[in-house]
Amino acid sequence: MIPAAVTLIPIFLLLRDLKLLNTYFAIWLPAAAAVTGIFLMRQHFYSIPVELEDAARVDGAGRFRIYWQICLPLVRGAMVALSIFVFLGLWNDLFWPLIVLSERISLTLPVGLLVIQQGSYIQRGLAFAGAFIATMPVLIFYAFFQRKIIAGITTAGLAGR
């Protein structure tokens, strides 16, 4: 549980050594191993009753089959909620893409909106159009996964252990 500001330089140096700067991998790769997601998924897997796993073992299921056919469907709501959190965090992030992306062609939308608004002449129509485009994927994503989001939120407090 280390603050992101402390890990900023080591992650940047690691991405530089891996030659991933100025790529979109540099944006989402650190988010894929975020502690928040690991902790959330651990808690949901921990809430699965042991009796389900024991019953599957008695029926002759192996570890992978128990994971694939029993555990994974039970935590699907948490996985969807986590994907939404990560997507929104990455989509709206300004600070990290500003650090790892330096070529103008590869800038993300929030960084591009910031660049448009700099200077003596601000193109307000272009900035508003960009802001509208920035909100549309989030709304579409929510509309598509609305039932999963609500199911993940309602079952988040139910613990089996």
pLDDT tens-digit profile of 48-107?
899 999 999 999 999 999 999 999 998 888 888 888 888 888 888 889 999 999 888 888
Claim: this prediction has a pTM higher than 0.75: no
- Quickly state the pLDDT bin for 1 (edges 50, 70, 90): low
Domain that holds residue 106: 4-154
**The pLDDT value given to residue 57:** 93
Q: How many distinct structural domains can be found in the chain?
A: 1
Which CATH number belongs to the domain containing residue 118 in this structure?
1.10.3720.10
Q: Determine, yes or no, domain membership for 33.
A: yes
Q: Determine, yes or no, domain membership for 50.
A: yes
| pLDDT tens for each residue of 106-139 | 888 888 888 888 877 778 888 889 889 888 988 8
Q: Determine, yes or no, domain membership for 48.
A: yes
Q: Determine, yes or no, domain membership for 159.
A: no
| 3-state SS string for the chain | CCCHHHHHHHHHHHHHHCCCCCCCHHHHHHHHCCHHHHHHHHHHHHCCCHHHHHHHHHCCCCHHHHHHHHHHHHCHHHHHHHHHHHHHHHHHCCHHHHHHCCCHHHCCHHHHHHHHCCCCCCCHHHHHHHHHHHHHHHHHHHHHCHHHHHHHHHCCCCCCC
Q: Determine, yes or no, domain membership for 49.
A: yes
